[in-house]
Amino acid sequence: MILLFWSLSAAIAEDWVEVGADMEAKFYVDVDSIEFVKDNLRVTKRGIYTHILTEYLGDKAVVFKETRGIVEMDCELRVNRIFRIDMLDQHGEVVWSSGDMPRQLWLGVRPNSHAETTLEVACARFHQT
């Protein structure tokens, strides 16, 4: 029983590393989530905002405090794209989700940004294994 609990805990373990901040949020990546999928790296990233935000998506107002998403990246080309984004309320409940977006455009990673730090952390951790 203890072994089963330990293996379940390990399967859902998260190791969040801060990758940047701005006036509205701090950004983190879960280094335990880094995986290689179809020639690219994927990592789970979150933004925790300093206050509750409202985004109008269509005709619906979505109130959220945190975003979590999956970022895909190419370490050699230094490009990334958002594969999925979820918005969470102040209680950690998902209030909106994009679902998977496999056709998102690839964008160049800007220097001195949390996107660049995300790429550097994920690529370095992946190449260590």
Nearest CA-CA partner of 64 in 85, 44, 43: 85
Helix residue ranges per DSSP H, the chain: 2-11, 114-128
Backbone angles phi, psi at 14, to 5 degrees: -130, 140
Q: Which domains does the chain have, with CATH numbers?
A: 14-128 (2.40.128.710)
First to last CA, the chain: 30
pLDDT of the chain, 129 residues: tens digit per residue: 443 343 334 445 689 999 999 999 999 999 999 999 988 999 999 999 999 999 998 889 999 999 999 999 999 999 999 999 999 999 999 999 999 999 999 999 999 999 999 999 999 988 765
Strands (E) in the chain, as ranges, are 16-21, 25-37, 40-57, 60-74, 79-88, 94-97, 107-108
Beta bridge partners of 30: 16, 44
Amino acid in position 30: D
Cα distance between residue 12 and residue 28, in whole Å: 17
Whole-structure pTM value: 0.84
